[in-house]
Structure formats: structure tokens, C-alpha cells
């Protein structure tokens, strides 16, 4: 193992597996009534939240992540809720990337449960491939 391999190993951050945020809403207070913001993807370390607000990188937010339950579901009253803090890391054109700040085991357990639900929803789904005719 050479020096470059060793250095590359130090600089390479472990990225946890991300899952589509299907069925999860993020709530945070921005001065008005809280509204649910959809989540593009989520992992145990962070998420990308669709939002029009552009919080400065480094801003700490209190957020609540809530599973969306539809009225036709048998367990409509049993939505999973997870409240924790996060730090804004970066902005995209349609939202912001945040890193979760987990401060106790109960928050970690609730977050694991929520992320596992998104994983269960997307397991076995194949992306749809569309082949368009070539324009001539």
C-alpha cells in the first residue's frame, strides 16, 4: 500500500446507503405555520429536503420527520415520528442537504425505524426505462 492509497483512504468519507424519501415529510419552523416538505432521499446520516428556504450552511434546525399514512391504510393512526436536530450542509436548486445530529439512543432508534420503512417501500422496485424514438 502506497502513500497515495493511504491518503485516499483517509480522505474518503464513508457514505451510508441512501433510500428514496418516499412517504416521509419533514417539518421545521420558518416563522410561519409549519408545512410538510418532501424528502428526496434519506439515510441514517442525513437527507435532502425539498424546500424553497435557503438556510445558510452550518445552520442548526429542529425538524420532525413524519411518515405519511394514507386514510385507506389499516394503521392510519400509527405514523412513525422522529424529532431531532440537523445541520444544513449544502443547497441544491430545489432544496437543501442536511446532516442529522442524533443526541440520544431514542432518537437513533426512531431514525432507524423511519429509514427502514423507506427501504422496505422501495425494495424490489425496478426503475422504469423508457426508450424514445430517435428524432430524424
**1 part of a folded domain:** no
**8 part of a folded domain:** no
**67 part of a folded domain:** yes
Asked if pLDDT for residue 22 goes beyond 50, the answer is: yes
Q: How far apart are CA 13 and CA 72, in angstroms?
A: 42
Can you tell me which residue has the cell 434546525? 61
Strand-pair category, 81-91 with 37-42: unpaired
Number of domains in the chain: 1
Can you tell me which residue has the cell 426505462? 129
Higher pLDDT, 127 or 42: 42
**45 part of a folded domain:** yes
**6 part of a folded domain:** no
* CB neighbour list of residue 20: distance below 8 Å, 6 or more residues apart: 40, 41, 42, 118, 121, 122
Q: Which domain holds residue 58?
A: 14-122
**7 part of a folded domain:** no
**135 part of a folded domain:** no
> Which pLDDT does position 2 carry in this prediction?
61
**56 part of a folded domain:** yes
Provide the mean pLDDT of the chain.
Answer: 77
- Per residue, what are the HEC states of the chain? CCHHHHHHHHHCCCCCCCEECCCEEEECCCCCCCCCEEEEEECCCEEEEECCCCCCCCCEEEEEEEECCCCCCCCCCCCCEEEEEEEEEEECCCEEEEEEECCCHHHHHHHHHHHHHHHHHHCCCCCCCCCCCCCC
Confidence band of 14 (pLDDT split at 50, 70, 90): low
Asked if pLDDT for residue 87 goes beyond 50, the answer is: yes
Note whether 37 and 50 are within 8 A (CB). yes
CATH number of domain containing 38: 2.40.10.220
Amino acid at each position: 500500500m502506497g502513500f497515495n492509497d493511504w491518503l485516499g483512504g483517509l480522505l474518503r468519507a464513508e457514505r451510508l446507503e441512501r433510500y428514496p424519501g418516499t412517504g416521509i415529510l419533514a417539518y421545521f419552523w420558518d416563522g410561519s405555520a409549519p408545512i410538510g416538505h418532501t424528502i428526496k432521499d434519506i439515510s441514517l446520516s442525513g437527507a435532502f429536503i425539498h424546500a424553497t428556504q435557503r438556510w445558510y450552511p452550518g445552520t442548526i434546525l429542529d425538524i420532525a420527520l413524519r411518515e405519511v399514512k394514507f386514510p385507506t391504510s389499516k394503521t392510519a393512526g400509527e405514523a412513525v415520528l422522529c424529532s431531532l436536530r440537523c445541520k444544513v450542509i449544502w443547497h441544491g436548486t430545489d432544496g437543501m442537504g442536511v446532516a442529522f445530529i442524533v443526541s440520544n439512543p431514542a432518537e437513533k432508534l426512531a431514525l432507524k425505524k423511519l429509514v427502514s420503512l423507506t427501504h422496505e417501500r422501495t425494495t424490489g422496485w425496478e426503475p422504469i426505462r423508457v426508450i424514445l424514438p430517435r428524432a430524424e
